[in-house]
Amino acid sequence: MSKTYDFIVIGAGAFGAWTAYYLRRAGARVALLDAYGPANSRASSGGETRVIRMGYGPDELYTRWSARSLPVWEQLARQTNQQLFHKTGVLWLSDDSDPYTRQLLDVLIKNGTVHEKLSAHEIGRRYPQLSFADATWAALEPESGVLMARQAVQAVVKDSVKNGVDFILASVLPPKTSTARLDAIHTSAGSFFSAANFIFACGPWLPKLFPDLLADRISPTRQEVFFLGPLAGIDDFRPPMMPVLLHHTHSLRPYALPDIEGRGFKIAFDRHGPDFDPDTGSRVVADQSISELRQYLRQHIPALFAAPIVETRVCQYENTSNGDFLIDRHPEWENVWLVGGGSGHGFKHGPAVGEYVTARILNNAAAEPRFSLASKQTTRARAVF
């Protein structure tokens, strides 16, 4: 006879792992299922590193959620004795015509976030390896930095299992029921699992599991990432010489992370790529992207213009129409929850998402309207950056 759970969480990425963690801490019987394993190489949470920053332009909600999440990631690092967070600092390059960074600074001040405002001269003095003639000033978040994404999610799952969560490798089929409640989920291997509640935290797979509901509301897009090999014996591109760099005023929205653990200098463009299938999509980067990257490097990071590409990755964003998360009850099935829509910025918020889902379900906490299914449109108009 199969075990009965209070909650089955489907998806062991950043959102599902932290949700299972908090539900278990609240005393619930929890199983966590994943088709490919926690933070696997297809998952959006499966990259080596993710940026954690407090700045979100004028958007105080996500600034608050980042500020809530960072100490929890740090606590996890202490508890598991791993370096899961690197305090590299996050540098926002700006120019005089850019309202986003000005508003971001106002929000950081209001929230009491440690920050510095750097003049163009100061940017050049502190970071001589960079060349940003277009930046007239910058905002620096010295306390922010880089999370070791894959390792961190796996650490959350390991800790949850130690505390009594059952982790099960299983691929769940799209759920079906003709009543207002779902009794069980079925897997591709022919088994089934029962629970009082089901939480689908399946990131870019959510539209496959709920095609009628989400095919038009969550769009996975192909995102390419490059790791460059700096010159031997040079530390210009490692912390503390190099912070995370966000050049959002540039049309390609480039961002870069310092060389951490000798993996290489990571750089990518934060604009949405073409639509992408997370199971079968090709994860080989395009030649065109490499020439675009070289052009950017030539202008702004000349020391890396000819640097070898030591590794590439293709990941996917799981975008809602405007970039707000989807965290809501299924509109027809009262014991089913949908958690996802990280939209290229969700990773850092994993702890806050887990806390929020747990409080919503167990304590009937107030719902944030921006996370509702009803607020999700079908036309793509990104508004959260």
Ligand X SMILES: Cc1cc2nc3c(=O)[nH]c(=O)nc-3n(C[C@H](O)[C@H](O)[C@H](O)COP(=O)(O)OP(=O)(O)OC[C@H]3O[C@@H](n4cnc5c(N)ncnc54)[C@H](O)[C@@H]3O)c2cc1C
Q: Report 115-134 residues binding ligand X (CB under 6 A).
A: none
Please identify, using beta-carbon distances, which residue of 47 and 303 lies nearer to ligand X. 47
Q: Which is nearer to ligand X, 53 or 303 (CB)?
A: 53
How far is 253 from 244, CA to CA, in rounded Å? Answer: 14
| Local structure of residue 79 (DSSP, 8 states) | H
* Span near ligand X by CB under 6 A; candidates 91-99, 119-127, 137-145, 312-320: 312-320
Instruction: Report the nearest approach of ligand X to the CB of residue 34 (Å).
Output: 5
Task: Note whether 340 binds ligand X by CB under 6 A.
Answer: yes
By CB under 6 A, residue 266 contacts ligand X:
no
Restricting to residues 346-365, name those near ligand X by CB under 6 A: 346-348
312 binds ligand X, rule: CB under 6 A: no
Residue 217 interacts with ligand X (CB under 6 A): yes or no: no
Distance CA 1, CA 50 (A): 41
d(CA 356, CA 324): 14
Please identify, among the stretches 79-87, 91-99, 113-121, 342-350, the one whose residues bind ligand X according to the rule CB under 6 A: 342-350
Task: Pick one of 7, 8, 13, 150: the residue that binds ligand X (CB under 6 A).
Answer: 13
Reported as type and span, the H/E element at residue 4 is strand 4-10
- Give the whole-angstrom CA distance, residue 213 versus residue 381: 19
Q: Is 15 in the site for ligand X (CB under 6 A)?
A: yes
Closest contact distance (angstroms) between CB of 172 and ligand X is 4
Other beta carbons within 10 angstroms of residue 102's beta carbon come to 14
One DSSP character per residue, 342-379 reads -TTS-GGGHHHHHHHHHHHHHH-PPP-GGGSSTT--SS
Q: Can the peptide bond before residue 230 be classed as cis, meaning omega within 30 degrees of 0?
A: no
DSSP per residue, 278-303: TTT------HHHHHHHHHHHHHH-GG
- Computed on alpha carbons and rounded to an integer, the radius of gyration of the chain in Å comes to 21
Task: Tell me the closest approach of the beta carbon of residue 335 to ligand X, in angstroms.
Answer: 18
Site string for ligand X, 164-183 (x = CB under 6 A): -------xx-----------
Q: How many Cβ atoms from other residues are within 10 Å of residue 95's Cβ?
A: 15
Under rule CB under 6 A, which residues in 18-37 are in contact with ligand X? 33-36
Q: Tell me the H-state helices in the chain.
A: 14-25, 60-80, 99-110, 120-126, 149-162, 206-209, 211-214, 287-300, 350-363
Nearer to ligand X, 33 or 245 (CB): 33
Q: Which of 22, 44, 48, 150 binds ligand X (CB under 6 A)?
A: 44
Structure tokens at 126: 């502190």
Nearer to ligand X, 55 or 303 (CB): 55
* Residue of 8, 9, 14, 77 interacting with ligand X (CB under 6 A): 14
Verify binding: residue 192, ligand X, rule CB under 6 A. Answer: no
Q: Pick the closer one to ligand X by CB: 106 or 279.
A: 279
Q: Which residues contact 287 (CB under 8 A, 6 or more apart)?
A: none
Query: Binding ligand X by CB under 6 A: which of 207, 344, 351, 354?
Result: 344
Binding to ligand X by residue 315, rule CB under 6 A? yes
Which of 201, 184, 269, 175 is closest to 9 using CA atoms?
Answer: 201
**Count of residues of this chain found to bind ligand X when the rule CB under 6 A is applied:** 39
**Smaller CB separation from ligand X, 65 or 137:** 65
Q: 3-state DSSP call for residue 93?
A: strand
CB of 184 to ligand X, least distance (A): 14
Q: Which of 9, 12, 91, 242 binds ligand X (CB under 6 A)?
A: 12
Chain residues binding ligand X by CB under 6 A are 10-16, 33-36, 40, 43-45, 47, 50-51, 171-172, 201-205, 209, 223, 225, 268, 315-317, 340, 342, 344-348
